[in-house]
Amino acid sequence: LDKIQSLSRSLNNYRWLYHFHFRKYIVVNIPSSELYYYENDSLCLSMKVIVGKRSTKTPRFATFCDQVVLFPYWNVPRSIAVKEILPLCKKNAAVLEEMKMQVINEKGEIVDPQKLNWAIFTKRNFPYRFRQSTGCDNSLGVIKFNLTSPYSVYLHDTNAKRLFEAENRYLSHGCIRIEKPVDLANRLLEEQLDEAHLKAGIQGQTPVTKQIIQPVPVFVLYMTADLNSFNEICYYPDVYNLF
């Protein structure tokens, strides 16, 4: 019965996907931790992804990918900033240099962390934000795929590629880390990226935003039954306990 219900939900998802006849689109399946890229309903690219932990779930949504950002900054979400990074800074602000983090004020200016009195800051009164410098050490890697959604969730490269070898890939704070970012970017952009330059990991690169001429639909779905890249039906755990 569980398998029949899983198949029924997945078939209904694909019924809607095929209904709109999109020329290009991306499907991310959370339970399988996989991404599939289609052109004219034909699978052109598949890859592993890392999705949200059970405590920081990746949401289900439909949106568009409209930009590819090369050498992105990671603007740390407020929740991560005050719960995880601020306590470290209160013990020793030198940790920011190790993490390649900058302190940014409300005007967008970089502030010297050594000149701040970290002892007075709390989760409620912390007036700054953290931004991780660009480069191969950046948590977003060297490529970010901007999504026009209200969730502050996007697709991105990662500096921890070894995690793609894990069987359990529910490891992120909600964003979606992808295994083959250059391959996907080259499918979405008119020009081909200079992969050697990207992989050189040069520190201090200025972010470069490349517009996708025709934004590509992205569907982040939750299917406990799905076809794999070999057209075999596979069943996946209900990792978020949604069913």
DSSP 40-98: TTEEEEEEEEEEE-SSSPPPPEEEEEEEEEES--EE--HHHIIIIIHHHHHH-TTHHHH
C-alpha angle 35-219-17 in degrees, rounded to nearest 5 = 105
Return d(Cα 243, Cα 239) in angstroms, integer.
10
Q: Which residues are catalytic?
A: 156, 175
Task: Give the burial class of 16: count Cβ atoms within 10 A of its Cβ; 0-12 exposed, 13-18 middle, 19 or more buried.
Answer: exposed
HSE of 173, CA atoms in CB hemisphere, 13 A: 15
The span from the CA of 115 to the CA of 103, in Å, is 11
CA distance 226 to 10: 7
Kindly compute the dihedral angle of the four CA atoms of residues 25, 161, 157, 198, in this order, to the nearest 10 degrees. Answer: -120
